[in-house]
Structure 1
Amino acid sequence: MEIPALGSIFLLLLLCLLIVQFVQLRWRKKQFPPGPTPLPVIGCLWQLKFFNVTRDSLTELAKSYGDIFTIWFGSTPVIILDGFQAVKDGLTTHPEDVAGRPVFPFFRALANNKGLLLSTGSTWKHQRKFSLITLKSLGLGKSSLEYQIEEEARRLVEIFRNTQGNPMNPSFALTLAVSNVICAVVFGHRFSTEDKTFHELLEAMESIFKFAGSLGHNIYNVLPWLIRHIPGPHKKALSARDFVCSFIKKEITKHRDAGVLDDPQDFIYSYLVQIQKTKDQPKPAYDESNMIQCIFDLFLGGTETSSTTLCWALLYMVLYPDIQAKVQKEIDAVVAPGQMIRCEDRKNLPYTNAVVHEVQRFSNIIAIGLPRLCVKDTVIREFLIRRGTVLLPSMASALYDPNEWTTPQKFNPGHFLDKDGNFICQEAFIPFSLGQRVCLGDHLAKTELFLFFANLLQAFTFHLAEGTKDVNTEPVLGGTLQPHYFEICAVPR
């Protein structure tokens, strides 16, 4: 048979396969909420400019298909929840039904269904329950941990004071302060600003977060069998993960060598005690691999999100000096000069508290929430959602929902104040997600953000470095939406 004839047969077979898949997709599409028609192989990726899943692209589709709709990543359907009401209905109507996490290829490579953030099923339930109980016993929500945060705030003010008003990028100082809080809880100690290992840990975390929000991450999930065998940024991210886990293992060894305490003073000691208690069970839920991943998740989540939010907070203060001045005026009226701001001052600083909340809303650093997995058949509004279906909540669409916020596209602390100037927290304020997988460190993050921000504004007036003309307020895409590099001056008041 001639080569051209073979080529024609191949093309005919390929065409037949594409037609069959197209018909199958059309039939499957009827079983899900409405959405754009998927094409063979690529699904609806052409609608999203091939993997460019953003709040704006999803909101545009919602205008055509409703606030609960389906897009297809190849042959995989994903249900999108767009806008506050859709996110709320999707995650809280039957919260236990949508508490799973799809174990995508990169999630598997990163965590292998261990730990807190990327695990699912009984593993997640055991690790979350233990971690919640342990963090509370170690001071979460208590004055002991609040004191630790206040101490880090004091050190942070000193770091800024040492710049003597010269231009600086605040990112590392903020990351150091935030991370040292979770380090004290997890490892039982803090790091100094000169610690080389700590610098390497922060760089490793940055590599992981950068890859998590990149095009490469999405391609890895579609073509893992190919991508894992070739060079690329995924190799750097997984190498960074190995470095962090290696450090955690060394910390665990130090704790184990020191001997398990009757009264554990940090997360590692507490987990070692739990392993000892459950070691004789047929299938113990607590082991070293889960402990390492839980610590990895706490360290990663307890550092990146709050430090990024604080970076946005200082950037907004230099862009809106009138708001900065109003915060300082309120602080000066409530807190005596030279006295550190403490947690109990928050109730007397409603405007400052409102500004902190508006920073979280407006920066929306987690634009698209981590995907959820439907663990059993459930109903969301009029839609039957089958077990195994993936849901993607657009958190930013809730934080920018015009039905919930008077000026969603503007930085406006008034969103969190009533007509008398009292602080109010809106129902649509959901930066920590909703349902059974709500962020387990939300109270810690709220306390950190308020104390670090308020103490810095009490001590300094911030302005852009001399010569800075245009500030790019568009976020840098990644696992979190970070501001572009900028320099500011912290002028002592």
Structure 2
Amino acid sequence: MLEVLVAFLVCLLILRFLKQPGSNRSYPPGPLRLPIIGSLWRLGIKLRKDTSIKLAKQYGNVYMLWLGPIPVVVLSGYEAVKEALINRSEDFADRPVTPFLKIIGKEMGIVFSNGHTWKQQRKFAMVTMRKLGLGKKGTEHQIEEEAHQLLQAFANAKGHPLDPSIQIRNSVTNVICTVAFGCRFSPEDEQFLELVEAIEDIFGFIGSFSHGLFEVFPWLMKHLPGPQKKALSCVEAVLSFARQEVEKHKEHHADYEPQDFIDLYLLQMQKSKNDPNSTYNEDNLLQCIFQFFIGGLETTSLTLRWGLLLMANLPDIQEKVHKEIEDVLGSSQSFTYQDRKKLNYTNAVIHEIQRSQYVFFIGAPRRCTKDVDMLGFLIPKHAVIVPDLHSVLLDPKQWETPEAFNPNHFLDKDGSFVEKEAFLPFGAGARICPGEQLVRMELFIFFTSLIRAFTLQLPEGVKELNTEPLVGLSLVPRPYKICAVPRSSS
């Protein structure tokens, strides 16, 4: 009798969940929502690169998943993403406040905040980047210095097989350190290495199955041992590193003109101390720095790692890039970011690396600010909105050969570089990546410097490097080695 009663109660529970709003025809379609876990079952324990694209083929370009009790609307393909992020930008301007993101971001800084805090912090960051010389000689010179360090690290291998990931990671991290702290760190500095490893561990956790469990069962996962504990300690390690740098700046703040982000932020804190609407405080400063690393390190370093892998696999394209660099720059020892306008093919190759090997599984999530009717569906207020930027960059309606590496996607019939509306690796609308210009400069200067100085070759006995990524929040190249052979003209 007890077994019959339990079975009856389970059936009632399932029927209750089936009658939730997700089954309403006005809401986007999606996988069956089960009690407690929602539709997490449909994603499986292990994500694949094409998981979201396959779901779109089954349910359409606007579909709904349930992360436990949280509705998640996924937008697939250029038209759906454009409609939400560009045409209806204000309706989807918020960032979701999930249990894990709330713990690590505290609804502060630029990435994890909303409303007045977000607007004020973002505006300050954009203005400050311009003051520091973003797009001008100041920041560009710092990137050139890191490019020189990267070239030296490659040269030290003397043409023998090397794994470029560590050198690239250190150089990209030091660009962010220079912008935030006004200094670079030695690759042997223990605190610097701990900072980099902590950031990588955070990225390794976000998007994992354990992360999904944390968002659904935060009350339980907070008290259980596991990778979530390490991820949270890594967040505190990055914040602690930033806190030490802030204290150093406070000690010498009056000794010189502002040189970096911390200097300018501390100055703004002084100017705004009597403003009751000010959000300029030390907690927001620490979160801004933390989010610079979260937003900037992975994007640039993974794109460069994919770029070198592809150039080693595609020697004809690599040589065409090198020839253009030599023809345009000649014997000039230096070049600038503005030279990209003369290096059409090189610029197209860099863009095609970003398009064909987009480094994130999906785009950064948003949150719906109100009930929205869009493309025939009702998107409920507070629903998490996930723009699948990966699907935009592989949209067959926008790209001639979406699955193939083809620099001609960004060239016209005369060989001139052309921008494409569907090229959205930095997102779009109100939440477009504030560090886009910095990342573009890094990619161009690092990539062009490396191809100019070295021929990237496969190690002896290796016919081709594996292009299947390791899938998590990021799409990471499998470990590989290449030979960076110095060119005779370098």
- Give the equivalent residue in structure 2 for 1:298: 292
Contact map agreement 2:367 2:384 (CA 8 A) in 1: yes
SS in 2 for 1:46: helix
- Give the equivalent residue in structure 1 for 2:39: 44
Give the C-alpha shift of residue 344 in structure 1. 2.7
Counterpart amino acid of residue 127 in structure 2: I
Supply the distance in 2 between the matched residues of 1:278 and 1:296 (Cα, whole angstroms): 22
Give the C-alpha shift of residue 262 in structure 1. 7.3
- Select the residue among 196, 203, 211 that pairs with 2:197: 203
- Give the equivalent residue in structure 2 for 1:480: 474
Residues 149 and 6 of structure 1, relative CA distance in 2, 3 Å threshold:
same
Greater shift, 81-90 or 172-181, is seen at 172-181
Supply the distance in 2 between the matched residues of 1:24 and 1:196 (Cα, whole angstroms): 52
Does 2:362 match 1:368? yes
SS in 1 for 2:71: strand
Supply the distance in 2 between the matched residues of 1:7 and 1:65 (Cα, whole angstroms): 37
Residues 6 and 261 of structure 1, relative CA distance in 2, 3 Å threshold:
farther
- Give the equivalent residue in structure 1 for 2:283: 289
Contact map agreement 2:17 2:33 (CA 8 A) in 1: no
- Select the residue among 201, 212, 221 that pairs with 2:206: 212
Supply the distance in 2 between the matched residues of 1:260 and 1:311 (Cα, whole angstroms): 41
Counterpart amino acid of residue 24 in structure 1: Q
- What is the aligned residue count? 487
Residues 150 and 112 of structure 1, relative CA distance in 2, 3 Å threshold:
same
Residues 331 and 268 of structure 1, relative CA distance in 2, 3 Å threshold:
same
Residues 133 and 262 of structure 1, relative CA distance in 2, 3 Å threshold:
farther
- Select the residue among 22, 26, 32 that pairs with 2:27: 32
SS in 1 for 2:485: strand
- Select the residue among 160, 167, 172 that pairs with 1:178: 172
SS in 2 for 1:146: helix
- Give the equivalent residue in structure 1 for 2:391: 397
Greater shift, 335-344 or 227-236, is seen at 335-344
SS in 2 for 1:71: strand
Supply the distance in 1 between the matched residues of 2:68 and 2:297 (Cα, whole angstroms): 34
Kindly report the root-mean-square deviation, in angstroms, between the aligned alpha carbons of the 2 structures: 1.9
Contact map agreement 1:70 1:77 (CA 8 A) in 2: yes
Supply the distance in 1 between the matched residues of 2:337 and 2:52 (Cα, whole angstroms): 38
Greater shift, 204-213 or 56-65, is seen at 56-65
| TM alignment of 1:271-350, pairs within 5 A | 271-282=265-276, 284-337=278-331, 339-350=333-344
Supply the distance in 1 between the matched residues of 2:469 and 2:183 (Cα, whole angstroms): 33
Counterpart amino acid of residue 404 in structure 2: K
Does 2:90 match 1:96? yes
Give the C-alpha shift of residue 110 in structure 1. 1.1
Greater shift, 321-330 or 478-487, is seen at 478-487
SS in 1 for 2:63: strand
Supply the distance in 2 between the matched residues of 1:344 and 1:433 (Cα, whole angstroms): 23
Supply the distance in 2 between the matched residues of 1:470 and 1:147 (Cα, whole angstroms): 35
With the length of structure 2 as denominator, give the TM-score of the two structures.
0.95
* Structure 2 gaps, min length 5: none
Supply the distance in 1 between the matched residues of 2:131 and 2:335 (Cα, whole angstroms): 25
SS in 1 for 2:50: helix
Supply the distance in 1 between the matched residues of 2:49 and 2:61 (Cα, whole angstroms): 12
- Give the equivalent residue in structure 2 for 1:65: 59
Give the C-alpha shift of residue 219 in structure 1. 1.2
Supply the distance in 2 between the matched residues of 1:112 and 1:461 (Cα, whole angstroms): 46
Does 2:459 match 1:465? yes
Report sequence identity in percent.
48
- Select the residue among 402, 407, 412 that pairs with 1:408: 402
Give the C-alpha shift of residue 307 in structure 1. 0.9
- Give the equivalent residue in structure 2 for 1:266: 260
- Select the residue among 48, 71, 86 that pairs with 1:77: 71
Counterpart amino acid of residue 192 in structure 1: S
* Structure 1 gaps, min length 5: none
Supply the distance in 2 between the matched residues of 1:110 and 1:132 (Cα, whole angstroms): 23
SS in 1 for 2:484: strand
Counterpart amino acid of residue 457 in structure 1: I
Supply the distance in 2 between the matched residues of 1:418 and 1:393 (Cα, whole angstroms): 28
Supply the distance in 2 between the matched residues of 1:22 and 1:380 (Cα, whole angstroms): 23
Counterpart amino acid of residue 122 in structure 1: H
